[in-house]
């Protein structure tokens, strides 16, 4: 029986697929948006080459993976009846990682994070009724805690329906958790809430750049409109994925909800800019927190213009509430479960920024056409041998 994983062409989902493949034995049912199996394989190669070379990727595809060509927002993922039935019959646990992170589009967030999550829950219900579901793991976000200021938020105190949210992303992710509790109460389920996921503490490479680019725009400023001793809760992707994979595979995790965060060990802006200045030989910025209001109106104005400045400004605009809230998320549950805390951002921020700048905030993915057809295995994959 297989683990059904959504979002494997995305950043965190690629870590989950790689972690399940290298550390565990179960086959994976992957939902991939593509028209053909070949297109799906190419999309998976783009996301998974961050984790392994072509030989392991080929083994992953050919020995442990079944690809379902579907979309979360279509009824039964838009799968033909026999494919959907095969998915239900072969799934005995679910990790739902896919989402729309488009904080500016209410429509996208509603369609993917609500309608799509409901489709995944319905699939889980059918699998539970058919032969039982071992676990349903749902990747949520700390943003479900809504508007906060100067707080340390625990898992059980995060959801407060009377509180406003910063954006449709946060609102729809909050309701996604609610649907899960209501509709799969009889299925063992776990909710994971990552904080800001930035980079990998083991290496400089990343394939997700939005938050890196917002951070880069900030650290280039000689004057920061922030309070120097405010903390920012950043966690590396390798820690987040290690936690999700380990806890999903446990028979009885201690808790139902986990913050995947740096918690009270989060660093201050001053600690981060000092570390970056030290590593890069840059000047330390000045902190003028009273400029926050002016800064946010300037960012608003710039984000409506054209070009790369506008792009940086529009990223800062959507992330600004999460930079300004001085709120961290208690991580004692996950630290106890894994026996380790996440690496501090200052220990890997500089190589991450350097890699991102050198590559102009794009992952230098090797295209499928560069795999080469010099071995029978490669030809078989490129020619469409079924994974």
Ligand X SMILES: NC(=O)c1ccc[n+]([C@@H]2O[C@H](COP(=O)([O-])OP(=O)(O)OC[C@H]3O[C@@H](n4cnc5c(N)ncnc54)[C@H](OP(=O)(O)O)[C@@H]3O)[C@@H](O)[C@H]2O)c1
Q: Which is nearer to ligand X, 197 or 299 (CB)?
A: 197
CB of 167 to ligand X, least distance (A): 12
Q: Which is nearer to ligand X, 9 or 303 (CB)?
A: 9
Can you give the three-state secondary structure of 147-196, one letter per residue? CCCCCEECHHHCCCCCCCCCCHHHHHHHHHHHHHHHHCCCCCEEEEEECE
Q: Which residue is nearest to ligand X (CB)?
A: 10
Q: Which is nearer to ligand X, 69 or 226 (CB)?
A: 69
CB of 352 to ligand X, least distance (A): 13
CB of 144 to ligand X, least distance (A): 10
CB of 222 to ligand X, least distance (A): 27
CB of 219 to ligand X, least distance (A): 18
The Cα–Cα gap between 345 and 79 comes to 42
Q: HSE of 105 in the Cβ direction (CA atoms, 13 Å)?
A: 11
The Cα–Cα gap between 24 and 18 comes to 10
Q: Which is nearer to ligand X, 207 or 287 (CB)?
A: 207
366: tokens are: 């090797």
Give the binding site for ligand X (CB under 6 A).
6-7, 9-13, 31, 33, 71-73, 97-101, 112, 116, 139, 141, 173, 194, 196-197, 208, 211
Q: What are phi and psi of 195, to 5 degrees?
A: -80, -150
**SS3 (DSSP) at 374:** coil
Q: Which is nearer to ligand X, 71 or 177 (CB)?
A: 71
CB of 249 to ligand X, least distance (A): 18
CB of 279 to ligand X, least distance (A): 23
The secondary structure of 187-235 as a DSSP string is S-EEEEEE-EE--BTTBS--S--HHHHHHHHHHT-SEESS-TT-EE-EE
Q: Which is nearer to ligand X, 141 or 326 (CB)?
A: 141
The Cα–Cα gap between 244 and 235 comes to 13
128: tokens are: 């539970």
Q: Which is nearer to ligand X, 97 or 353 (CB)?
A: 97
The Cα–Cα gap between 119 and 218 comes to 39
């Amino acid at each position: 029986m297989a683990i059904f994983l959504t979002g494997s062409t995305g950043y965190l989902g690629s870590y989950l697929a790689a972690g399940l493949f290298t550390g565990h034995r179960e086959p994976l049912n992957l939902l991939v948006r593509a028209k053909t199996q070949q297109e799906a394989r190419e999309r998976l190669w783009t996301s998974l080459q961050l984790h392994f070379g072509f030989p392991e990727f080929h083994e992953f595809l050919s020995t442990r993976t079944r690809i379902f060509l579907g979309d979360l927002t279509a009824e039964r993922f838009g799968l033909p009846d026999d494919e959907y039935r095969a998915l239900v019959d072969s799934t005995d646990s679910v990790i739902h990682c896919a989402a729309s992170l488009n904080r500016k589009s209410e429509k996208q967030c509603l369609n993917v994070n609500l309608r799509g999550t409901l489709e995944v829950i319905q699939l889980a219900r059918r699998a539970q009724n058919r032969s039982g579901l071992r676990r349903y793991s749902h990747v949520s976000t700390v943003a479900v805690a809504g508007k906060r200021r100067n707080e340390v938020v625990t898992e059980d105190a995060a959801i407060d329906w009377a509180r406003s949210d910063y954006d449709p992303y946060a609102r729809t992710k909050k309701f996604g958790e609610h649907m899960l509790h209501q509709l799969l109460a009889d299925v063992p389920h776990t909710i994971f809430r990552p904080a800001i996921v930035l980079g990998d503490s083991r290496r400089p490479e990343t394939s997700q750049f939005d938050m890196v680019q917002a951070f880069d725009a900030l650290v280039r400023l000689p004057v920061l409109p922030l309070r120097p001793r405010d903390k920012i809760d950043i966690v590396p992707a390798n820690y987040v994925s290690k936690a999700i994979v380990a806890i999903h595979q446990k028979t009885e995790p201690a808790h139902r909800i986990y913050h995947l965060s740096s918690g009270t060990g989060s660093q201050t802006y001053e600690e981060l800019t000092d570390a970056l200045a030290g590593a890069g030989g840059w000047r330390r910025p000045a902190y003028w927190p009273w400029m926050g209001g002016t800064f946010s109106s300037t960012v608003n104005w710039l984000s409506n213009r054209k070009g790369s400045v506008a792009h940086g400004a529009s990223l800062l605009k959507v992330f600004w509430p999460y930079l300004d809230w001085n709120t961290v998320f208690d991580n004692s549950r996950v630290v106890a479960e894994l026996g380790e805390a996440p690496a501090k951002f200052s220990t890997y921020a500089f190589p991450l920024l350097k890699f991102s700048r050198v590559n102009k905030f794009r992952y230098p993915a090797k295209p499928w056409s560069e795999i080469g057809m010099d071995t029978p295995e490669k030809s078989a994959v490129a020619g469409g041998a079924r994974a």
